Each structure stands twice: as structure tokens, then as C-alpha cells.
């Protein structure tokens, strides 16, 4: 299982900081997250998604992945 970590607005939308998921593809994970946490629907498309520290904008295999980080755009200076 892969640990999914939510940050900032994604954490607020999901109502949790992290959870373990069993989806084997990043696209399937994205779809499942929006299904389970509808508030993510407006945020997730703008988020950077890192699989074991490497950004992935499309689909990728999650077999063997340890972490997926969901990082919304941050504001500040």
C-alpha cells in the first residue's frame, strides 16, 4: 500500500493529513480520491503530485511506490 500525504488545502479538503491506499495507477488514485473526498475535485487538478519525490502530471504505475504527496499551489513570499 502507498501512503498518500495531503498538504495545505488538500489536507483540508480530505479532512486528514495522510492515509494508505491500494490503487496501482496514479490516474486511478486521483479518481478514487475525488470519489472519496468530493471537495478535492476543485483542488486536485491544480496540485503537484509527487510519487516518491518525483513529480508526475500524467498517469504512472504506483506498484512499489512508498509515498504520494498531494501539494496544492502555495502562496506567500
pLDDT, tens digit, 9 for 90 and up, residues 17-30: 999 999 999 999 99
Domain ranges of the chain: 2-71
CATH superfamily entry for domain 2-71 = Beta-grasp domain (3.10.20.30)
- Non-local CB neighbours of 43 within 8 Å, separated by 6+ positions: 9, 10, 13, 72
**Could you give the count of Cα atoms lying within 13 Å of 39 in the half-sphere of its Cβ?**
9
User: pLDDT above 90 covers what percent of the chain?
Assistant: 94
The pLDDT assigned to 18 comes to 98
The pLDDT assigned to 51 comes to 98
Q: Alpha-carbon distance 27 to 58, whole Å? A: 7
Record the pTM: 0.92
Does 77 score more than 80 pLDDT?
no
Amino acid at each position: 500500500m502507498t501512503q498518500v500525504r495531503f498538504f495545505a488545502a488538500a489536507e483540508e479538503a480530505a479532512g486528514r493529513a495522510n492515509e494508505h491506499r491500494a490503487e496501482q495507477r496514479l490516474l486511478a488514485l486521483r479518481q478514487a480520491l475525488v470519489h472519496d473526498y468530493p471537495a478535492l475535485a476543485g483542488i486536485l487538478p491544480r496540485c503537484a503530485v509527487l510519487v516518491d519525490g518525483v513529480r508526475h502530471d500524467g498517469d504512472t504505475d504506483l506498484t512499489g511506490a512508498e509515498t504520494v504527496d498531494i501539494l496544492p499551489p502555495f502562496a506567500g513570499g
